[in-house]
A and B are shown apart, each in its own frame.
Chain A
Amino acid sequence: MGRPVRFIHAADLHLDAPFGGIDAQDARVRDALAASTYRALDALVAACIERGADFLVISGDLYNQAERRVRSQLAFAKAAATLDHAGIPVFVVHGNHDPSSGWSAGIAMPENVHVFADDRVERIPFERDGELVCALYGRSYRRAAETTNLASGFKREIGDTVAIGVLHTNVGGRPGYDDYAPCTLDDLRTCGMDYWALGHIHKPEVLSQAPFAVYAGCPQGLDPTQSGPRGCFEVTIDGGIVEAAFLPLAVIEWRYAEVDLSSASRLDDVRDAIAAAVDAALAEATAPVVVRLDLTGRSDTHESLQVAGALAALVDDAREEALGLEPWVWIDRVRDRTRPAIDLDSLRVAEDFTGDVIRLADDLLGDTEEGAAFVGEVAAALLDRVGDPGLVPDVADILTRARDLALDRLLGGDAR
């Protein structure tokens, strides 16, 4: 074999995926978010061409079929056509968000797009200048909830100089992700692949180096929890030596920070702390940033922040300023998680009303069921009205903050 095999490994593009958990009130931010997955796709195509990739591998969840968005499938067809023009094939497996049996807009893809079969592990040889340089093995999801271990069907054929496995799977049953196509790292090791191009987990990660098993992650973080670098991997296989280098592609970066207000005594200090947190988030960024902040600590500003509209006014000011930065920063949410500057321990031992409140909260926090029942009684009617199972309250958090709120009101600032 002559020059090394070089390809780009991407996954979980989730084109046109709904952005959850963000309150993008600014039109510029909304537009940028709406276009972000497409811009990431553009960046992926550009990376393939600039890096001189032999081919592109997409390990599932190219788009969210549930959205039934024509635009996403057209966009991918256009991107594939661009790569076809550059002589770069694209190898794709279907994942749980775009299973092969799912909805399709019926848009014909260019000939350079090869979709792996959904009924077996399909081997697709890749030739360069008429010479076989590697073989790609992959299997698509037929349905979204694929619970069988698809990795068990992968087996390297004798004679393959380089073997690449493409699979959308939850290796090791990672929490926070659906346990689809479950398998273990050992399952992967027994298949004889030189490189596992994995998808499903949105955070980029090299699971193993022998063999290389890599989650490419999503090129664009899809919600505020998906902070940190997002992109794809440039993989080079030369004489059996595999190298995988991460390439950032995200056009919007998500950030989360806790802002400790323990030493803050005035709202001006809060404003300054928020501005400092924004600056810190921007310092690490190469693209526009959406940042979430939690104000924490026992702070003298806690009571001031409880005044209706006080925090909102601070956030509005900070947003306006942050949007004027280059690149811009959108302060998505600022939660007040400060606590009153109260000596809980001393109040807890007092045989008075506040002591009763604290001890009652302690009892509820200590007894999960009782606490859940206590909060549940408060929340039942509301949650029934809202009908959103995603809004299940964090009982401990609710109880803690409710306790602090009650103490704050009861003490009125005098007993601190």
Chain B
Amino acid sequence: MRLRRIEAEAFGALSSRTLGDLGDGLTVVLGPNEAGKSSFTALTRYVLYGFPTAREKEPQYTPASGRRAGRLVFEEGDGRWVIERTEGPHGGPVSVRTLAGGARSGLHSEITAGVSPLAYKVVFGFGLDEMSAIEAQRGSGDDIIAKLYAASAGLRTSPQDVRAQLEKEAEEYFAPRGRSKRVNELLSELRDIRAEIRAVRDEGAAFAEDRERLSALDERLNAAQETRAAKRSAHAVLASAVSSYEERIAQLEERERELAELRRQLKSAEEALERGVPDATLLDSAAEIDAIVGDASAFTQNLAALREAIAELSTAERALDAALAETGLPPERALSIDAGPELLVAVEEARDDLRHLEADRDARVREADRLAGVAAKAETALPAAFESLGISPGPDADRALDAVASELDAVESADSGGPRSRVDVPAIFILIAGVASLVAGLILSEMVAAIIGGISVIAGAFFVARAFLGNRPRAIAPIATTADTFRARRALDAARSAWRIAEEARGAADIAAADAVLATDTYTTRQALFAKRMAEAGFPSGTTPAAAAQIITRVRDARRASGEVQSKRETLAALQSRVDAFAARVGSIAAATLGVSGAVDPDAVPGLVGRLKDALAGAREAGIRHTQHDDAVRDLVSRIKAAEERHARSKDEARAILVERGLEEGGSLGLLREQLALAEAESRDADAIYDEVAAERSRLQGTLDTLGVEDRGAQLRLSESSVRERLADAVDRYLVTATAARLVGKAQERYERERQPEVVKRAEEIFRTLTGERYVGLSVPLGSNRLEVFDERSAAKTSMELSRGTAEALYLALRLGLVSQLEDVGPGLPILMDDVLVNLDPERRRGAAVAVADLARERQIVLFTCHPDTAELLGQIAPDRTEITLDRC
């Protein structure tokens, strides 16, 4: 891969200018100052690594107009590619364009792989300004040599960077001479936890002692409890004694007052007892007097009833006389009639029966008379009807009409018709009605209906039979013509109708007449039977049912009046007897108690009874008062005795209390109270001691109980384990990271020791050539920031001690030696040198030219110079070089 052209689109003073074609090996670009040598060198770097921003301390090469832009044309075999970049953000976008051959979009990365911008600037594209930078950067964070080592090893990251990063990471965990947060924090945390664990262990260790202390406290507590109980008991006993003594003293005073009062009451009661003695006679008769008083009200009622009974008897007797007179019969006869209910019912039934029969008889007579009139009227119409037929309405009129009909039938038979049958409908009706009446009468036990039914049956049967037997033809007058026949037929029908009406009217009149006769007989017979029974019962002859019923009612009234009189008489007698007896009882007891003598009038009895009652009440009241006084005296005597006993007992008890407290001589309530105050103080002291011991024991017990259940120790050990795990992890990470850093460092040392000598050796050879063997040795001490050179006397000098020309020769030698060892690093990167030989003396310049020409056989080199002799020198040493002349811009 070779760089063929550098094209400046717009870059500083360069505008649309191209440098090329560059040779495969050495290209010498000769141009005066201001020809753009430095510009093309910088443009190459900027196209590869980006245009610097205004803030960067890099030459800006700002064009007169537009943005900076440039292109690099690379060539390999038949392929040609352009890497171009235009100013923009982040250095400006870069692109790869293929001019010939296959596409190589990654060409830019391939070319710059392993070479940082700084490394490129210092090693590949440098001028006089950058000559000393190769040393200045050494050992710093951007060790050019180290980076190039890494690049030569195919590493993207330099070992120096890796080691620095690893050391930095390790220091996050621990720094041997610094303060690292992680491990120190964890150690601090661990110390705190372990201190807590020790405290918990100490608590556990003290458990046994605490238990012993608890046992001792238990004993002290029991003792304090006993003392407290004893003191409390003593105090309670004394308090009770004082209280009892005070109570006894109060009792004594109270009982003395009570005794005085009781004795006064006794005296008063005894005087009252002597004063009130009751009447013994009255009290002995008290039961009888109470009975009389109790019966007095009944007596009063009996007396009033007696007088009322006398008046009622008189009234009843008068009513009896009036009732007997109402019967119209002699008193004995009237009272002898059996006017019981049966008789009255029979009379009333007979009265109703006769009244009914009478009405029936009258109705039937009137019906018979009416039907007789109808029959007579029908008879009267017959002669006129028969007259046109030429027959008379005699007994045989029926047969005569039949004969006429036969004749007419015979006349009419030539044309039509035969004989006709006739049915007597009224007869059949009568027959059916009779049967119905007979059956109803029999069922209802109504004799009259049954009789009438029977008669109707007989009459109906008669007329039916007669109609049946009478339908025989009879001869009639001859009929001459059809018109005559027709008229004769009409006359016949009229005659037949008149005849039938007359016959039916006659029949009905006959039946009604028979019924009227029968009803009249029945009424008469029943009336006779009633009269006979009344006569037998003692009623006057001819007594009608109505009269009989009235007599019976009055007889019964008379009988009731008679019974009333008798009852009143008996009541009167009984009342009189009770009144007389009670008056006698009152008279007797009044005589005994009140001194009243003689018979007692009933009207005076109530007064006497009142007097007896009052006298008895007075006697009783006096008796009660006497008993009360007597009871009071007895009770007071008893109470006085009991009070005296209690008084004595209280006195003894009070004395006993004092004796019990040792105060039998001169003991008093005041002394007792002094003892009580002392006991109370002792009890309070015992309480305080008990409470103090109990509180201490409770606290200790609480502590021990907590120890028995809490898991603080286990939790702390888990916390310790957690922190220790994290500490172990931190230690592990530190060790791995720090060891890795150390591995890299050691490998770097080894690499520098074993491989750097090749670089140094090559640089030494070049430097020796450049200096004409004045300096024969070159050393780069490991871990130092300096270069040492040795002259022919083996005297060491640092680069600072060299002249500028010698130092630049050293730096050039170092670069050439370094690049010669880079092998595949940046294979397409050309080395651009900007007049770097200018400060060398001719001898060294020639040596440098030789070295450059030698390196150009391995790597493409573009050397800019404004000195024609330098170009000439290089032309002599490297005849195959490419030379390009630049004009001033």
Contact = CB atoms under 8 A, between A and B. Distances in A.
Interface of A: 16, 18-25, 30-31, 33-35, 67-71, 74, 103-107, 333, 352-354, 356-357, 360-361, 374-375, 377-379, 381-383, 385-386, 388, 390-391, 393, 398-399, 401-403, 405-406, 409-412, 414-415
Contacts of B207: 68, 70, 105-106
Interface in B737-764: 737-744, 746-748, 750-751, 754
B743 A388 contact: no
B886 to A, nearest CB: 40
Interface in B702-744: 704, 707-711, 713-715, 717-718, 720-722, 724-728, 731-732, 734-744
Interface in B685-716: 704, 707-711, 713-715
A388 to B, nearest CB: 7
A63 to B, nearest CB: 11
B333 interface: no
A411 B740 CA distance: 14
A373 B737 CA distance: 16
Contacts of A414: 154, 156
B245 interface: no
Interface string B496-523: 0000000000000000000000000000
B183 A386 contact: yes
B336 interface: no
B166 A406 contact: yes
B154 A415 contact: yes
Contacts of B734: 382
27 contacts: A18-B714, A23-B726, A67-B713, A68-B202, A70-B707, A106-B208, A106-B212, A107-B211, A353-B149, A353-B150, A375-B735, A381-B176, A382-B176, A383-B731, A386-B187, A391-B728, A393-B731, A393-B732, A398-B735, A402-B737, A405-B166, A405-B736, A406-B162, A406-B743, A406-B744, A409-B166, A410-B159
Contacts of B183: 382, 385-386
A239 B680 CA distance: 76
Interface string B178-210: 000001000100000000000001101101100
Given A19-B721, A34-B711, A71-B707, A352 B204 contact: no
A198 to B, nearest CB: 27
Contacts of A353: 149-150, 153, 155, 159, 747-748, 751
B157 interface: yes
Contacts of B775: none
A76 to B, nearest CB: 12
Given A68-B204, A71-B707, A382-B176, 14 more contacts: A19-B714, A19-B718, A31-B711, A33-B718, A68-B202, A356-B750, A382-B731, A386-B183, A398-B736, A405-B166, A406-B743, A409-B744, A411-B156, A412-B155
B743 A71 contact: no
Contacts of A415: 154-155
Given A70-B704, A410-B155, A410-B157, A360 B718 contact: no
Interface residues of B, number: 62
Contacts of B750: 356, 360
B708 A354 contact: no
B165 interface: yes
Interface string B400-418: 0000000000000000000
B174 interface: yes
A379 B732 CA distance: 10
A333 B725 CA distance: 9
* B153, B207, B727, B740 pick with most chain A CB within 10 angstroms: B740
A386 B183 CA distance: 8
A360 B154 contact: no
Contacts of B149: 353
Interface of B: 149-150, 152-157, 159, 162, 165-166, 174, 176, 183, 187, 201-202, 204-205, 207-208, 211-212, 704, 707-711, 713-715, 717-718, 720-722, 724-728, 731-732, 734-744, 746-748, 750-751, 754
A402 B742 CA distance: 9
A385 B725 contact: no
Contact of A406 (B212, B727, B731, B740): B740
Contact of A70 (B204, B212, B731, B735): B204
A25 B722 CA distance: 7
A19 to B, nearest CB: 5
Contact of A352 (B154, B212, B741): B154
B596 to A, nearest CB: 107
Contact of B711 (A35, A333, A356): A35
Contacts of A23: 721-722, 725-726
A24 B711 contact: no
Contacts of B212: 106
A262 to B, nearest CB: 21
A105 B211 contact: yes
Given A33-B718, A70-B707, A391-B728, A399 B739 contact: yes
B155 A24 contact: no
A390 B721 CA distance: 12
B212 to A, nearest CB: 7
Contact of A379 (B165, B208, B735): B735
B714 A34 contact: yes
Nearest to B165: A409
Nearest to A405: B740
Given A69-B713, A71-B707, A22 B725 contact: yes
B166 A382 contact: no
Contacts of B748: 353
A79 B159 CA distance: 65
A412 B156 contact: yes
B177 to A, nearest CB: 8
A98 to B, nearest CB: 13
B731 A16 contact: no
Contacts of B165: 409
Given A24-B721, A106-B211, A406-B166, A391 B711 contact: no
A313 to B, nearest CB: 16
